[in-house]
A and B are shown apart, each in its own frame.
Chain A
Amino acid sequence: MLIDAAELPDGSEITADLIIIGGGLAGITIAHEFLGAGRSVCVLEAGGRGSEPETQALYAGSASMMDPLGQARPMDEYLTTSRLRAYGGSGNLWGGKCAPLRSIDFERREWVPDSGWPFSREDLDSFYDRTCDLLEMPRFDFDISLPRDPGRPPLNIADDANLTTVPRLHTPVTGSVGGDAYDRFKDSILGAANVRVYLHANVVDITARPDGTRIDRVQVACLNGKRHTAKGSAYVLATGGIENVRLLLGSNGVHREGLGNGNGLVGRYFAGHVTLRMTRAGAGTAVFFSRGPESLDLYSSRDRARVWGVLATTGGAQREHELPNFTVTFFPLGREVRGPARAVIGAAALIDRGLSMLPAGDAHLRGRYLPVYFMSEQTPNPDSRVSLEAERDPLGQRRVNLAWVHSDGDYDGMERSIRFFGRELGRTGTGRLEWSGRPVDFLSRFNTSRHHMGTTRMSASPRQGVVDPDCRVHGISNLFIAGSSVFPTGGIANPTLTILALAMRLSDLLKRELGG
């Protein structure tokens, strides 16, 4: 059932066994898991069915990205352009690219401060499978090192000792491509007898009981001035990695420092993904493959129906060289081979092919000189944070400030990873790397993702995390968080698949706790 909270009588009380704050991908997935479960579910969505400027403006605040060289890049608009306050959430904007985190992403790595999840990738595997089924896409249960697509063989770079191919797949269940899959996904819970979705229901306070150990109710505000309350046995906060922080810090009626913020961790460790290339045309950030399979289509194709290959440093190489996770993604069109690049490429081809004379012309080089972008994991950094400003929005909530800070370690990791990649290409006779980057230019060249991670990080210890391994806020027994804000580290995988896998896992727990 779909209800417009703005049309309810003022002061209405909404009740359900489970209150889900946020009707985005995570919130809808949890509600979907409760279909027919015998427990009532209420989804409180701040927006309407589509984008509404007045609602979207509630996201406005201040933001900047900072580098370790003391440079800052203002990006206030990021707060309103990198997410959508509407039913379906940022899934309406999402490109649909999916990848699971890798095993090493879950490990505690001595060279990555504050790294490590409280469980392993293996513990999440079955939830990844269920998520793929929900998203109407193949499971990640294939070995990409084995050719599965005729004519699209993977690279074998010294038996994948240091560089390997990792897969990316696309789901049709996303709002950014044509088709009705995302509408079907959003509509899937609307006909259920036990699920109610409220639109224009902006949660402005999560109110704890006086002893602070449980949530009693949430306060709902509409832009037309109406106010309601919602009460349940359990509450899931699923409003994204920035808004989750805003609600926790702003809900300070009982816990003066904000909910779950006894150790001052809420909002800290903000991490995102950035892609790095030096020019839009690809010059200065490209790879020439001197050897390898005749077709590089696995890496350069942009066919969403087929698997995409991305090159990554292996876990072994990360351990041996103390590198962060790092990937190289290829663009579809080969660059024109001429000038100095032609000379370097020609020499590399000669050497790597055993000084055979090259055939006349450049036909044998075409399609093997590919622009790339790099991604290097942003390591956990408490100084990278979301906090509240003094200014308030029309609903009385304090606006947010995002200080997205890249550390010395991040830049060092990026540079060392790029150099390592370039050396590996040469060492293995695979090719050469064109790379003109200087750290002073990185900040202006970064292309930002819409991935907001780490701000309510997960840890078995409340001193090191906001939620426990069950995604329950430490010290508050009936408040849970869904979304990438719980990621202790974010690897380089597009986070949605993991967000939904964790949502599935949380749903199972909630069903047990609520007796559904």
Chain B
Amino acid sequence: MVDYDQRDVLKQRISRRRALVLLAALGGAAAARPLSGATWRDLLQSSYSGWTADQDALLQRFHDSLDANVVARLGEEYLDAHPNEADPDRLVSLVTAGWPPGATIAEAVRDTVKSDFEEGRTESVALWIVSQTEARLFAALSLTQ
């Protein structure tokens, strides 16, 4: 259940976290991890430019609710099995492909996850059976920390 009294506090926390993430990424040094020769800065500069606020908010929601380091490990597990998806821009495109226009993020994610399970698009991550969309979100987070 949402604690409505805490909403404003949470909003502030999200903004601060988002700023820190972007700052670290753009700064390059702190979270730098070479990937296919590119730096985080290179990747994020190109991939973030196409992001909508909604897409960013979705990832941010995960960031703020979950232990980012653990999620990153889950994402890396997925990327080990799917190295061709090791690109945050591509991952977000894959996750959001087919999202109906006008749907809220909540509806879109829920429906995509549902159809993943329905059509057998599942992945094994940390011994759990999760939808492909969930696994890709973990992976996107692991690339954008």
Among A278-296, those with CB < 8 Å from B are: 283-284
Interchain CB contact (< 8 A) of B129 among A339, A342, A429, A433: A433
Q: B10 near A357 (CB under 8 angstroms)?
A: yes
Q: B106 near A355 (CB under 8 angstroms)?
A: yes
Q: Does A436 contact B (CB under 8 A)?
A: yes
Chain B interface: which of A24-32, A309-317, A344-352?
A: A344-352
Chain B window 89-121, contacts with chain A (Cβ cutoff 8 Å), 1 for yes, 0 for no: 000000000000000011101100110111010
Interchain CB contact (< 8 A) of B134 among A283, A339, A347, A419: A347
Q: Does B64 contact A (CB under 8 A)?
A: yes
Minimum distance in angstroms from A213 CB to a CB of chain B: 56
Among A433-481, those with CB < 8 Å from B are: 433-436
Interchain CB contact (< 8 A) of B109 among A340, A355, A432: A355
Q: A343 near B71 (CB under 8 angstroms)?
A: yes
Chain B interface: which of A99-107, A164-172, A358-366?
A: A358-366
Q: What is the CA–CA distance of A358 and B62 in the complex, to the nearest angstrom?
A: 10
Q: What is the CA–CA distance of A356 and B117 in the complex, to the nearest angstrom?
A: 21
Q: A354 near B1 (CB under 8 angstroms)?
A: no
Taking CB atoms, residues of chain A closer than 8 Å to B128 are 340-341, 344, 432-435
Q: What is the CA–CA distance of A436 and B124 in the complex, to the nearest angstrom?
A: 9
Taking CB atoms, residues of chain A closer than 8 Å to B67 are 342-343
- Count chain A residues whose beta carbon lies closer than 8 angstroms to a beta carbon of B: 35
Residue of A nearest to B73 (CB): A340
Given A343-B71, A350-B61, A427-B118, verify A419-B105 contact (CB < 8 Å): no
Taking CB atoms, residues of chain B closer than 8 Å to A360 are 3, 6
Among A344-390, those with CB < 8 Å from B are: 344, 346-348, 350-352, 354-360, 364
Residue of B nearest to A354 (CB): B106
Chain B residues touching A, range: 35 or more
Taking CB atoms, residues of chain B closer than 8 Å to A344 are 74, 125-126, 128, 130, 134
Q: Does A426 contact B (CB under 8 A)?
A: yes
Q: A423 near B117 (CB under 8 angstroms)?
A: yes
Q: Does A422 contact B (CB under 8 A)?
A: yes
Residue of A nearest to B126 (CB): A340
Q: Does B65 contact A (CB under 8 A)?
A: yes
Taking CB atoms, residues of chain B closer than 8 Å to A355 are 58, 61, 105-106, 109-110
Measuring CB to CB, which residues of chain B are less than 8 angstroms from any residue of chain A?
Answer: 1-3, 6, 10, 58, 61-62, 64-67, 70-71, 73-74, 105-107, 109-110, 113-114, 116-118, 120, 122, 124-131, 134, 137-138
Complex A-B: 7 CB contacts under 8 Å: A340-B74, A343-B67, A356-B2, A423-B117, A424-B117, A426-B122, A433-B128
